[in-house]
Structure 1
Amino acid sequence: MELVQSLTNIELRISSVKLGFDELNLTNQPQFIVHEANQLLKQLEQMPEQHKVRLLEGWFDSYYLGIHWHEVAYVYGPFCIEKYGKGVDYSNALNYLDLDLESQLLLESYLDHRAVFEPTKLKGLGKMLGSFLTSKEIEVQTCSKPSNRGLNEKPDLGEELDKFSKASRLELRFEIEKRWTKAISMGDEQTYLRILEENVDRLRMPTRVKSSLQDRKYLAVSSNSIAARAAIAGGVSLQIVEALSIQHVREIEGCNSSKDIETLSYKIPLNYCKLVQRYNLRQHSPLIRLAIEKMRSNLSNKVSLTKIASQLDVTPEHLARQFKKETGHTVSKYTNRLKIQESLPFLAGKQLTVDALAEQLGFCSSAYFRKVFKDIMGSTPTQYANQSVND
């Protein structure tokens, strides 16, 4: 085998149940090429044994010589046939495979350096290989021209290769997404940024439409939805998340360049992280978490300390004492803080007027809402809304 490889600098792979080894990989090649050759080995094993060298076609105008003889399958390649596959631009096909940047560059370089044989020399090459492997004169299948299959059309083994490349990438994306959403649900900005930095190439999106700007917008909207669900899992109320999500979608639609989308896509998950931080109740005891959840679900209605304590089966005195100890606020003051927090995304997105928000959140008047807002935030609702737009 080493002699065969050294003569032409092309890899020979062997698969044999009889000899107890399978998918023998002898050199370092791109994983896509390794899988393609190994898939051809499996196809050969399913074909009837013949004293014949078959010409097998792979992706990117690659060809292999294959032999199935005495329960052993041999695949020799890949190589190109002269005038077909030399100097061809494979960028569209590489994008179709949806590989990460490093794998794509490695594969592209490998394709550019494949051996090239004249069609008339294939028969001699096949005879040499077959005779060497079987020690007998052997028939060789040749062709003078590759098929007219387009670069983006799948060959016979395309389904398996497509499954391999897409499945491995989807598994990786799914794993990254799990870590990414967990970081957001914990309000952990640093972990999110680290995941983003480590996987910037793997998280890129292949072009699906002619407009790269529209493509990025689709991705940004999708990321916004995933991050929003993570924030809800982190304890943020559905209404607040929905308000921030709508604001993000409007900002995405308003982007006029890929750079604007890139900047906004970077900020969106961080905005949800900050939202979770603001609403994170994990540091509180189960009793106080339940009390706060009941307060949040009834912000538009006046809910007394006595009623909450009754629902939680504790005395009002015990709840008030424990609540002040853990939050630093009385129940009434904390309720006002929750109302102001609830109003922030609506103000930032200018989705409701100050008067409408005051009524929706159960304040007795818009003037009192403005007073409470300024006491807590240090600015009026209108000033906050204008500043959010400028930011």
Structure 2
Amino acid sequence: MARRELEQKANMLGSVVQTGVFLLDKGNREIYNFNLLQGKGAFQNLARADIQAGIRLAPPEENKVVLYTAPWKGVYILLPVHEEGSYAGLAAVGPLLQEILPEGELRGVLKFLRLREKEVQEVLECWDSLKAFSGSELKHLAALAAHLFWHPLASSVQVQAVQPGPDLSGKDKFHENLLGSHDFVDGNYRMEADLLHAIQTGNAGLLKTLEEDRRQMYIPNRTPENPLRTDRNLLVTLNSLACRAAIQGGVPLGIAHNMSSNFAGFIENARTAKQIQELNAAIPTVFCDAVRKYRTREAGPLVAKVLDQVYANLYKKLEVAEIAAELFVTPSHLSRKFKEEMGVTLSRFIQQAKCQEAEFLMAKGNHTLSEIGEMLQFNSLSHFSATYKKVRGFPPSRVESREEGKG
């Protein structure tokens, strides 16, 4: 089948089904796409990511059609393309709808695919234009597509339905393909890292900014026969991680474990969704407050306020004079009190706190050194590097190289 003929068939099928049709070569690289939603780049990119996830779950075979259901319930038909009787690549038809997610849950799933808010909105706008099909209709459509892209007289069409989960075609691919996309694992891991960092540093401001993201977090139900048990298991994990983060943040071991034991009792006795929700909010907040309390336990009221100001505003320009003005004291008085109680100047303490935050950002691996310096309000990369070396004794590039080596 010539390339031009393949494109014509893709256009015809896409027009009939009212969705996208993507043609891929033997290496699963896109060579053509028909999409009624031209200009909707975020939606097309979502489809491309879904298609690659489906291919990972069920690699193409010459005589097999795959119905892949993405985490957000969009369905794709993945089928081999034959040229002169031999396998030449893949055609992917979709997304199609079989099951509709509530908008709130759909938003949560899309957010953990790392779509920006503008892109999420774009996908939601395209949502209503998708056609819905029953399960039997999808299988008939898959067979039709197979005959179209193989040969009108294709004798056997094997249709295999796959979706993210722990058991696919008799093989446990859960660890390899959790939720069909490593983006979900990655998104949840990054959320967890940010949450624990907020607790460890006693950063109530960061914790508050994470609240909405945590509410929209997409979590698969591992025990569908007992959803309350799933919620409790998640709280048990949160309780353990928050306890460890608090200990690392300076809360005494015995006190942290006593707090954790109390929460364990509350978790076991939780019986309603409201109680689960309240515990989900309370656990990180209480441990975060404990870190703040023990961080400032030896400081007077004025210095305690300064510490909270610094940790809550690491991504802002922090000047001693401005902090003093907000606390209605003179810069010289503030500097003297801080040095007396903390044993280090306030300027030096700010530098140390920013360098500690920089190490957290470097460990995450999302940003370059230049971007990290800019985020933490250093004047330039050279200013950031010089400050870091003065505080730590070695340049930040050494830390970055070490983190890359771990990866």
Normalization by structure 2: what TM-score?
A: 0.50
Of 7, 16, 24, 1:15 maps to 24
**Match of 2:236?**
221
Q: Indicate conservation of the 8 Å contact 1:30/1:103, yes or no.
A: no
- Letter of the aligned partner of 1:9 in structure 2? Q
- Please tell me whether residue 6 in structure 1 is matched to residue 15 in structure 2: yes
Q: Residues 13, 180 of structure 1: CA spacing in aligned structure 2 closer, same or farther, 3 A cutoff?
A: same
CA pair 117-196 structure 1, distance change in 2 beyond 3 A: closer
How far apart are 1:196 and its partner, in Å?
Answer: 1.9
Query: Are the equivalent residues in 2 in contact too, given 1:90–1:151 (CA < 8 A)?
Result: no
Query: How far off its partner does 1:15 sit?
Result: 2.2
Cα distance in 1 for residues equivalent to 2:235 and 2:76: 37
In structure 2, do the counterparts of structure 1 residues 267 and 114 end up closer, same or farther at CA, with 3 Å as the change threshold? Answer: same
RMSD between superposed Cα atoms in Å: 5.1
What is the aligned counterpart of 1:178 among 188, 193, 200?
193
Aligned partner of 1:208 among 223, 245, 248: 223
Aligned-pair CA distance for 1:233: 1.0
Which of 78, 82, 89 matches 1:73? Answer: 89
Distance 1:249 1:58 in 2: 42
- What runs of 5+ residues in structure 2 fail to find an aligned partner? 1-6, 70-74, 114-122, 300-336, 343-407
Q: Is the 8 A contact 1:220 1:252 kept in 2?
A: yes
Aligned to 2:89, the other structure's residue is in SS state strand
With the length of structure 1 as denominator, give the TM-score of the two structures. Answer: 0.51
Distance change >3 Å, CA 65–CA 211, structure 1 → 2: closer
Instruction: Report how far residue 154 of structure 1 moved.
Output: 2.2
CA contact (8 A) 2:20 2:34 kept: yes
Could you tell me which amino acid in structure 2 is paired with residue 257 of structure 1?
T
Per the alignment, do residues 188 and 111 of structure 1 end up closer, same or farther by CA in structure 2, a change over 3 Å counting? same
Change (3 A) 1:100 1:55: same
Is 1:16–1:72's contact at 8 Å kept on the other side of the alignment?
yes
Structure 1: runs of 5 or more not aligned: 49-53, 81-85, 131-136, 285-321, 328-391
Contact 1:44-1:66 within 8 A present in 2 as well: no
**Larger Rg computed on CA atoms:** 1
Offset at residue 38 of structure 1 (A) = 4.1
Q: Does 1:192 align with 2:207?
A: yes
Cα distance per residue 1:85-129 (max 9 Å; x no partner): x9x7699xxx9xxx8277899799898624976988987765554
Amino acid at match of 2:198: A
CA contact (8 A) 1:220 1:265 kept: yes
Task: Decide whether aligned partners of structure 1 residues 257 and 250 sit closer, same or farther in structure 2, where only a CA change above 3 A counts.
Answer: same
Cα gap change, 1:42/1:12 in structure 2, threshold over 3 Å: closer, same or farther? Answer: farther
CA, structure 1 residues 40+14, in 2 after alignment: closer, same or farther (shift >3 Å)? farther
Q: Distance in 1 between matches of 2:290 and 2:139?
A: 65
Distance 2:109 2:140 in 1: 38
- Kindly indicate whether the alpha-carbon contact (under 8 Å) linking 1:15 and 1:21 is maintained by their aligned counterparts in 2: yes
Q: CA deviation at 1:237?
A: 1.1
Closer, same or farther: CA 40–184 of 1 in aligned 2, 3 Å: closer
Question: Which SS does the other structure have where 2:93 is aligned?
Answer: strand
How far off is 1:215 after superposition?
2.4
Structure 2 counterpart of 1:154, one-letter code: L
Query: Per-residue deviation at 1:271?
Result: 0.8
C-alpha distance in 2 between matches for 1:192 and 1:170: 21
1:149 shift after superposition = 8.9
CA distance in 1, matches of 2:25, 2:161: 33
